Amino acid sequence: MTGNLFARIRAAAPSRDRTFIETHDGRIITYGDLFDISGRYANVLCAAGVKFGDRVVVQVEKSPECVLLYLACLRLGAVYLPLNQAYTLAELDYFIGDSEPRMVVCAPEREAEIAALAQGLGVETTLTLGIDGETGSLIERAGGAPTDRDDVVCSPDDLAAILYTSGTTGRSKGAMLTHRNLQSNAETLKDIWHFTGDDVLLNALPIFHTHGLFVASNVTLMAGGSMIFLPRLDPELIFRFLPGSTTMMGVPTFYVRLLQDQRLSRETTAHIRLFVSGSAPLLAETHAEWQSRTGHAVLERYGMTETGMNTSNPYDGPRVAGSVGPPLPDVEIRVVDPETGVPLPNGEIGMIEVKGPNVFKGYWRMPEKTAAEFRPDGFFITGDLGIIDPQGYVSIVGRGKDLVISGGYNVYPKEVETEIDSIHGVDESAVFGVPHPDFGEGVTAVCTLKSGAALDEAQVLSHLAERLAKYKQPKRVLFVDALPRNTMGKVQKAVLRETYKGLYK
């Protein structure tokens, strides 16, 4: 008996002629194509030296072929490592150097610079993958490869993927996710969200992180359903494909922007049975306005890179605005005193800790960091502050470590501050998040300058554009004479958040 996630996907698959993915421009990927093309890709990777346990770094635009490459890695027992396509070469240098992959797959237009970087870091093979299903060296090699491929027998605790999360010290951490982690979470979500082979999921999410790939794609695969694959959030495409969909998953930004469109109504959403939101808090007023306009209560859930999904508002039952619902059936959640780790009674705010088959194996090559984030009884310390009400519903009330979630993406201030502080003329900086009508939170920077220095907002932003992915770059850079500090000299980010809370109104 194998613990390979792909074996479960294979068992759940419908007939070969059923649609797995339909793209906005009319391309159809059937379940037969899923098996044939992923088999070809697996054979190409194997011929290039990729073997069990090897990492495959993938930085490409969203496409069906990218999902098929992920499935090919599962079949080989290789470790899939997706990266945001917005990452710069400076950022890629760290990810590739830290993960030591056997292969890098990138967009054709970036082949020269990324292949040179990868080779300098000891990676011999760089392949390319376009978004049209026809271009790229991976597709060219796959054209002559056989479709047959025996799936590797592996343990449920073997690695399936590594997803990097930004670190509060500026160093990103690779969360190691096993076949068991991904399978257990997908099967649970399929059941509690009532997914079946008749479902058509409208997927406008990126697929380099948990939400768009492991939640959306894996849940669809477990149900033997279909996806309409949109390249990004585009209201024109959303409204074009809503009538043929049954479900949609999005981040709060999706719902905010669609509420601004006059086409949103009970009629245009009549065919949808479920709207899901996650990756950032959905404001209660957004929840209420969406229900008023469409008749649908958005189902909000709570998860993170290290754990997949932890909680969910119920499919049948009250979906409470401002709450992320009770724990999933196979997940334990407790709220503890952040200082002592002692569990707190319901109704008190504390640190959220989680335990279950969804919880990751640890951080890649960071045993000390892994040990520090787990309690002796196996509970993972999330870093999120929350409260559990008498009905067992969890609400997130804050975050430790000053994490900013902007447009559904995690931004750790220390990483941005390090880049700003390296600019000639900057004395020090503080980065934090404040409410933003479109992104949930806007990344905001406040700086002090060295004596005699002359620097403006545009210069800072220009420097960061070459060093950080777009979503990490501040929406505004402000200058002050001094940063607010407490008696211990620590910068008071709570004061900054309060001072600038209306900046984006």
- From the list 371, 388, 255, 282, the residue with the least C-alpha distance to 326 is 388
Reply yes or no on whether the pLDDT at 95 is more than 90: yes
Cα–Cα distance measured from residue 311 to residue 331, given in angstroms and rounded to the nearest whole number: 8
Cα–Cα distance measured from residue 352 to residue 337, given in angstroms and rounded to the nearest whole number: 9
CA 8 to chain centre: 23
Can you read off the two tokens belonging to residue 451? 């004596």
Pair 54, 103: CB distance under 8 Å: yes
Strand partners, 56: 80, 103
Cα–Cα distance measured from residue 310 to residue 388, given in angstroms and rounded to the nearest whole number: 13
What percentage of the chain has pLDDT greater than the value 70? 98
Cα–Cα distance measured from residue 6 to residue 72, given in angstroms and rounded to the nearest whole number: 9
Q: Tally Cβ neighbours within 10 Å of residue 270.
A: 12
| This prediction's pTM | 0.86
Reply yes or no on whether the pLDDT at 170 is more than 70: no
Can you read off the two tokens belonging to residue 123? 């990676």
Pair 201, 74: CB distance under 8 Å: no
Q: What b/e string do you get for 159-178 counting C-beta neighbours within 10 Å, with b at 16 or more?
A: bbbbbbbbbeeeebbbbbbb
Can you read off the two tokens belonging to residue 15? 């007939």
What digits encode the pLDDT tens for the residues 343-359? Answer: 999 999 889 999 999 99
Cα–Cα distance measured from residue 129 to residue 41, given in angstroms and rounded to the nearest whole number: 11
* Mean per-residue pLDDT, 290-294: 98
Pair 360, 317: CB distance under 8 Å: no
Reply yes or no on whether the pLDDT at 40 is more than 60: yes
431 backbone dihedrals φ, ψ, rounded to 5°? -115, 135
- From the list 196, 123, 188, 185, the residue with the least C-alpha distance to 160 is 185
* Local confidence band at 281 (pLDDT 50, 70, 90 cut-offs): confident
What percentage of the chain has pLDDT greater than the value 90? 85
